[in-house]
Amino acid sequence: MQHTPEPYSRRVYYYETDNMGIVHHANYIRWMEEARMDFMRKVGYVYGDMEAEGIIMPVTGVSCKYIHSMHFDDVFSITVKMTEFSGVRLSLSYRIFSITDGTLAAEGESSHCFLEAKRRFPVNLKKYCVGFYEKFLELSRNDD
């Protein structure tokens, strides 16, 4: 049985802050990507390997609710949960915690499809990337 991987964690960089003295909101979308790549690595499938197999996983939608502002040097951690996987589509949800302040800082979601890299047509991982397909399927069942 697959265990939920450890959360992704790091400090806020100075260049991620803005004129309001807080982290600029667009960076949370980037953090979700960092956490997604870390999640894939920890469950055993590095995203770079998917691209090496000729499949890309672009973002088809993203959302974020900002609950608590974050500041330079704050430590945050992000938990990732798979919310949907069908072979042709993947959805993930994210919870971003400020370790420094002990609060939930933001919640987000991302959705993805899988494309053949060269010609950019949609593919089913079941057919094109069986290793990833089985791993993702196992994770999606786990989260039930």
- Answer for the pair 83, 123: CB distance below 8 angstroms, yes or no: no
Residues 104 and 93: beta-carbon distance below 8 Å: no
Q: Binding to its own copies by residue 75, rule CB under 8 A?
A: no
Nearest approach in angstroms of CB 141 to its own copies is 27
| C-alpha triplet 118, 80, 126: angle, nearest 5° | 40
In this complex, which beta carbon is closest to its own copies, that of residue 58 or of residue 102?
58
- Which residues make Cβ contacts (< 8 Å) with residue 113, sequence separation at least 6? 57, 58, 60, 88, 89, 90, 122
Could you say which of 2, 53, 59, 116 contacts its own copies (CB under 8 A)? 59
Among 6, 25, 134, 141, binds its own copies (CB under 8 A): 25
Q: Is 49 a catalytic residue?
A: no
Q: Using CB under 8 A, which of 64, 78, 90, 96 touches its own copies?
A: 64
Residues contacting residue 130 through CB under 8 Å, at least 6 positions apart = none
Contact residues: its own copies, CB under 8 A = 10, 13-15, 17-22, 24-27, 29-30, 33-34, 37, 46-48, 51, 56, 58-66, 69, 71-73, 117, 120
